Amino acid sequence: MRDFVQKQVDTLSVDDGKDRVSVVQYSSDPAVQFYLNTYTTKREVLDSVRGLRHKGGRPLNTGAALRYLRDNVFTASAGSRRPSGVPQVLILITGGRSFDSIDEPASALKQLGVLTIAIGTRGSDPRELQTITGEPSYALSVSELTDLPKVQQQFESSVEAAVFEVTPELPTVIASRDRKDIVFLLDGSDGTRNGFPAMRDFVERVVEKINVGENKDHVSVVQYSREPEVHFYLNTYTTREDVVDSVRGLRHRGGRPLNTGAALQYVRDNVFTNSSGSRRLQGVPQILILLTGGRSFDNVDSPASALKQQGIYVIGIGTRTSDARELQKISYEPSYALSVSEFTDLPSVQEQLSSVMSKVIVRATPMTPTVTGKNVTPL
């Protein structure tokens, strides 16, 4: 493991101040070997890596280690340049299954914008590693740790992909507060038949308050039950009148069961894309407004994490028949999960929704889109 870290450091641009490195070792609890701002030369980093000694201890608490990193290593005081737009990359090397829960800490790292690449052995849990990374292709595997050199090329490709994912295609473009890409995801299952007209009216009211135009706000509507159906994409209409006319014509889809997880994944893969009109790579805020009246029959964890990782801000609106905890998990953060008793009460959260959207636009506007370095932490 130590040799592998050494090989990675050799490929980085530490001396010119572009890349920064930190190393943390953990078992029952984590121990920082050095922080992102401890060393400023490659020689110092390599000398410290060569001097690493095995920590020992049990059990293996990966969840606690991930939480520790978020709170103590990927911070400005420890040398993280996250507020300046520098890609944050975590490389996890582990040989076993965690004794504590990794779900919440892994999700918290993704929310912070940290991209995790995990390498495990046959003693690791592949599904656990995929949950931690949120992207199956970022979870690599070797039989033994001595086989780490075999995944060197695959690993380097994953790092490149991860850094590209968080690097804007046009780094000079700052997210415009005058432009938003908004996707409405509507629960069209059998259970919402009576509430659907109220959902449709609500979407129309939101659209009336935004500035739809070719170089302004873009809107898409997707309805789902067992599977999703796109009514129109982000680049289908360029005027408010066309969007409103299409929304007024929406008909309840029906069907069961309610597969919210599959719908979230579909929206990420097919709607928030360049070909469908998403302007994510131009720095335009990406907002998903989910209206749902029930508990999902499939798992929402991985699709929700994948949306957050892609920088999509999810605002969830549920009724008393929804699962409040599930809605909080789907939403970008718990405060973005709104609630009404029935869909006919949706006008009562109109102002709350506007407030959350305003916060999203502020958060989605980068301070300084610096893309010339990265912060790398092997764990």
Q: What is the pLDDT of residue 379?
A: 75
Taking 60 as the threshold, does the pLDDT of residue 174 lie above it? no
Q: Which residues contact 359 (CB under 8 A, 6 or more apart)?
A: none
Q: In terms of pLDDT, which residue wins out, 160 or 104?
A: 104
Q: In terms of pLDDT, which residue wins out, 218 or 281?
A: 218
Q: What percent of the chain has pLDDT over 70?
A: 93
**Lowest mean per-residue pLDDT among 48-62, 135-149, 308-322:** 135-149
Q: What is the pTM of this model?
A: 0.54
Taking 70 as the threshold, does the pLDDT of residue 195 lie above it? yes
Q: What is the pLDDT of residue 168?
A: 45
Q: What percent of the chain has pLDDT over 90?
A: 65
Measured from the Cβ of residue 341, the count of other Cβ atoms closer than 10 Å reads 10
pLDDT per residue as tens digits for the range 328-354:
999 998 889 999 999 999 999 988 898
**Lowest mean per-residue pLDDT among 54-68, 172-186, 200-214:** 172-186
Q: What is the pLDDT of residue 183?
A: 98
Q: Which residues contact 94 (CB under 8 A, 6 or more apart)?
A: 60, 62, 118, 119, 120, 121, 124, 129
Q: Are strands 114-120 and 218-224 parallel, antiparallel or unpaired?
A: unpaired
pLDDT per residue as tens digits for the range 235-265:
999 999 999 999 999 999 999 999 999 999 9
Name the band, by pLDDT with cuts 50, 70 and 90, for residue 162. Answer: low
Q: What is the pLDDT of residue 369?
A: 36
**Lowest mean per-residue pLDDT among 45-59, 68-82, 110-124, 162-176:** 162-176
Domains of the chain: 2-167 (3.40.50.410), 181-363 (3.40.50.410)
Q: What is the pLDDT of residue 163?
A: 67
Q: What is the pLDDT of residue 164?
A: 62
Q: How high does pLDDT run on average in the chain? A: 88
Query: What is the arithmetic mean of pLDDT over 185-213?
Result: 94
**Lowest mean per-residue pLDDT among 190-194, 301-305, 356-360:** 356-360
Taking 90 as the threshold, does the pLDDT of residue 227 lie above it? yes
Query: What is the arithmetic mean of pLDDT over 89-94?
Result: 94
Taking 70 as the threshold, does the pLDDT of residue 172 lie above it? no
Q: What is the pLDDT of residue 36?
A: 94
Taking 50 as the threshold, does the pLDDT of residue 277 lie above it? yes
Q: What is the pLDDT of residue 167?
A: 52
